[in-house]
């Protein structure tokens, strides 16, 4: 137990301690541990034994500094308290851990400036970046992607690898669902102006509405938070629509709460469709009809794409675009249009 070696204070062991213990050079220890083939099997085993005995743990800082690889990947999300990102984060975390990488999670607070400076920071302390729902401009994103490996989630910029969640097509499903229930006056409760998802969704939706000959108006923008739901609900009621497709579940759930307060029944008086199927969408009152997609998997895919880019070994064909399917999950918040 108690080591009688000269080194081994209470301070963590280094390769030099191992080297001294084994009577070899530090570089040999380094090789034995990271390029085992480069070292004779007997020395290697001696070194590995010594490493275990000393509870050696490589210093990741030093490793990063000398090798240029940090073994970390930055994950940027606009709002850590938005349940949508929970599953995403878990997905990235699991996949990164499986590959031996560390996740650096940063909340960019929906600010493009924080996002930009974080990207700059991470340039040194991470091998790559995953950016969810970026608030940066296309140009800024392209520039960032040129400087270091970067994968976006829910942000489509030509030339930047991306995982896209196909909410636009789900939006059409939602529209058809509402039409089949007899709704003809429908509103889209828009998300932030800087959100590309919101814009894409609106484009699809208004196109589909025209094809089908129904009226869909756009209201908002609304912040993607539950509190914004109150304003959204009031706007919807005032506009005279009978159904709403909300930018996301947070807004939708906020609307449910507000409508209840105002004595407006869902779905009898008003139907509501959310997006994302976040935690809570299944147990709110009434349960929310929403557009669901495999978010955790989206995180995993993003990590895979990034790692493929970091280690371009075999495989070659690293896709740089992946679209996650989305489907409508119908629950209690949508129903037949009122007869009025």
Partner DNA sequence: CAAACTATGGCAACCGGTTGTCATGGTTCG
Partner DNA sequence: CGAACCATGACAACCGGTTGCCATAGTTTG
The DSSP line for 98-153 is HTT-EEEEEE-TT-HHHHHHHHHHHHHH-SEEEEES--S-HHHHHHHHHHS-EEEE
Q: Interface mask (CB under 7 A) for DNA, residues 63-102, using x and -?
A: x-xxx-----------------------------------
Does residue number 8 form part of the binding site for a second copy (CB under 8 A)?
no
Phi, psi torsion values for 5, nearest 5 degrees: -65, 155
Does residue number 41 form part of the binding site for DNA (CB under 7 A)?
yes
Instruction: Pick the closer one to a second copy by CB: 39 or 244.
Output: 244
Does residue number 120 form part of the binding site for a second copy (CB under 8 A)?
yes
Pairwise CA distance, residues 292 & 308, whole Å: 27
Pairwise CA distance, residues 132 & 249, whole Å: 17
Report the nearest approach of DNA to the CB of residue 119 (Å).
17
Q: Which of residues 244-263 bind a second copy (CB under 8 A)?
A: 253, 256-257
Choose which of 3, 5, 45, 59 interacts with DNA (CB under 7 A).
59
Q: What is the dihedral angle through the alpha carbons of 295, 296, 299, 303, rounded to the nearest 10 degrees?
A: -150
Choose which of 5, 34, 137, 285 interacts with a second copy (CB under 8 A).
285
Report the nearest approach of a second copy to the CB of residue 1 (Å).
15
Pairwise CA distance, residues 11 & 82, whole Å: 41
Q: Does the bond joining 193 to the residue before it have cis omega, within 30 degrees of 0? A: no
Choose which of 16, 124, 212, 321 interacts with a second copy (CB under 8 A).
124
Instruction: Pick the closer one to DNA by CB: 23 or 207.
Output: 23
Does residue number 311 form part of the binding site for DNA (CB under 7 A)?
no
Beginning with the edge strand found earlier in the chain, give each strand of the sheet holding 150-153 in spatial order: 102-107, 72-77, 128-132, 150-153, 162-165, 321-324
Does residue number 112 form part of the binding site for a second copy (CB under 8 A)?
no
Token code pair at residue 48: 């590995």
The separation between the first and the last C-alpha atoms of the chain, rounded to the nearest angstrom, is: 84
Q: Which stretch binds a second copy (CB under 8 A): 168-176, 233-241, 266-274, 277-285?
A: 277-285
> Interface with DNA by CB under 7 A: which residues?
11, 14-16, 23-28, 30-31, 33-35, 37-44, 56, 58-59, 62-63, 65-67
């Amino acid at each position: 137990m108690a080591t009688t070696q000269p080194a081994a204070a209470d301070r963590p062991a280094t390769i030099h301690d191992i080297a001294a213990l084994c009577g070899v050079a530090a570089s040999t220890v380094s090789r034995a541990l990271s390029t085992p083939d480069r070292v004779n099997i007997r020395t290697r085993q001696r070194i590995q034994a010594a490493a275990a005995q000393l509870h050696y743990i490589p210093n990741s800082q030093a490793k990063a500094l000398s090798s240029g690889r940090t073994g970390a990947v930055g994950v940027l999300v606009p709002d850590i308290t938005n349940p949508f990102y929970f599953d995403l984060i878990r997905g990235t975390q699991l996949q990164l851990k499986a590959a031996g990488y560390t996740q650096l999670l940063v909340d960019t607070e929906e600010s493009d400036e924080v996002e930009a400076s974080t990207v700059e920071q991470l340039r040194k302390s991470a091998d790559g970046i995953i950016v969810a729902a970026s608030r940066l401009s296309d140009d800024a994103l392209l520039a960032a992607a040129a400087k270091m490996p970067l994968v976006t989630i829910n942000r489509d910029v030509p030339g930047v690898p991306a995982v896209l969640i196909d909410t636009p097509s789900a939006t059409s499903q939602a529209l058809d669902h509402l039409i089949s229930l007899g709704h003809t006056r429908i509103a889209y409760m828009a998300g932030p102006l800087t959100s590309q998802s919101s814009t894409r969704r609106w484009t699809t939706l208004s196109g589909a509405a025209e094809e089908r000959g129904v009226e869909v108006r756009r209201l908002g923008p609304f912040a993607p938070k539950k509190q914004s739901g109150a304003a959204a609900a009031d706007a919807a009621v005032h506009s005279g629509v009978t159904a709403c497709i909300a930018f996301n579940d947070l807004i939708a759930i906020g609307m449910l709460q507000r409508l209840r307060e105002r004595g407006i029944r869902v779905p009898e008086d008003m139907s509501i469709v959310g997006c994302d199927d976040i935690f809570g969408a299944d147990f709110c009152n009434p349960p929310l009809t929403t557009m669901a997609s495999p978010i955790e998997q989206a995180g995993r895919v993003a990590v895979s794409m990034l790692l493929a880019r970091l280690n371009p070994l075999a495989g070659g064909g690293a896709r740089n675009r992946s679209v996650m399917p989305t489907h409508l999950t119908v629950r209690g918040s949508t129903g037949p249009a009122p007869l009025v």
